[in-house]
Amino acid sequence: MNPTLVAVVLAIGAGAVVAVSTRDGAAAAIGLAVSLIASALLAEPLPPAGVLGVRVVAALLVATLIRSAMRTGPRQPSPLGWPSEAFLATAGAVAGLGIAVGLAAVAAAGGVPVGPGVGEPGAGGPIDGGSAALTSMAFTTAAGTSLFTLGLAAFIHGQPGARRAIGLVLVTQAVLLFRIGIAGPALELEEIARAALLVVAGATGAALARAAATSRPARVGDDEDSDTEAAPAGVGRREVVPR
């Protein structure tokens, strides 16, 4: 077991829990940035400097977009609280490890070498199912299922706003981790497409959060009686003169 990968997975989960559960917009943006940057570092060995730079820049840009959208909208803390969110993240990670072990066991039973991704040749050749949980693929899949659980709960629960925007970003990052965990490392051109997809998800979530914040005051207090009472006498009113 690689302690570095374990620490990275813990950082991914902790940052995501803070992002979806805190009341402070700045803390939520920092937690999201920590989770996305840690997801960029979840690889063994680390990708080249250019690929790593693209991932980190995309993560920081997404966190900045979400933070800018939080300035105009109301705070949306988790209705469940951070202990429940942490429990969801842990359950998702355990499920991801189970999925990874099952896939690796099937691949090993068929005589397929297990490397960074299922079915990808590795330096060590075939391994047994019991040691599959120690591979980079297992940790990446576990982090993906953890983010998917948290992001899906934040996206479908609650009113439109910053919480759903964070949920959309976490679900997108989870799908990207699934791709690496199951199919192996991506090509350099694909890394650019992955970073662009993450930025588009962040920009879309930020735009939807701003739209929800802008339309919220229009719905509240949209009453004709209040407008009539606020209008000065003789303005907007027509007096009926009896004949």
- Those residues whose C-beta lies under 8 Å from the C-beta of residue 185, and which sit 6 or more positions away, are 43, 47, 116, 117
Q: How far apart are CA 143 and CA 64, in angstroms?
A: 22
Specify if 177 maps to a domain: yes
Query: Which residues constitute the domain of residue 15?
Result: 3-217
pTM metric for this prediction: 0.74
Specify if 25 maps to a domain: yes
Judge whether 117 and 183 are in contact, CB under 8 Å: yes
Structural domains of the chain, count? 1
Mean pLDDT of 191-206: 92
Query: CB atoms < 10 A from the CB of 109, how many?
Result: 11
The predicted-structure confidence for 152-173, as pLDDT tens digits, reads as follows 888 887 666 788 889 899 999 9
Cis omega (within 30 of 0) for bond into 45:
yes
Higher-pLDDT residue of 58, 120: 58
Specify if 157 maps to a domain: yes
Specify if 237 maps to a domain: no
Tokens of 6: 């374990």
Q: How far apart are CA 43 and CA 39, in angstroms?
A: 9
Specify if 225 maps to a domain: no
The predicted-structure confidence for 32-80, as pLDDT tens digits, reads as follows 999 999 999 888 778 888 889 999 999 999 999 998 888 766 666 667 7
For residue 81, the SS3 value is coil
Mean pLDDT of 231-242: 48
Q: How far apart are CA 31 and CA 103, in angstroms?
A: 31
Length of the chain: 243
Specify if 143 maps to a domain: yes
Q: How far apart are CA 43 and CA 56, in angstroms?
A: 14
Tell me, what's the pLDDT at 79?
72
Is 80 exceeded by the pLDDT of residue 227? no
Is 60 exceeded by the pLDDT of residue 18? yes
Specify if 231 maps to a domain: no
Is 60 exceeded by the pLDDT of residue 142? yes
Specify if 212 maps to a domain: yes
Judge whether 35 and 19 are in contact, CB under 8 Å: yes
Tell me, what's the pLDDT at 77?
65
Question: Comparing C-alpha atoms, which of 57, 70, 48, 84 is closest to residue 188?
Answer: 48
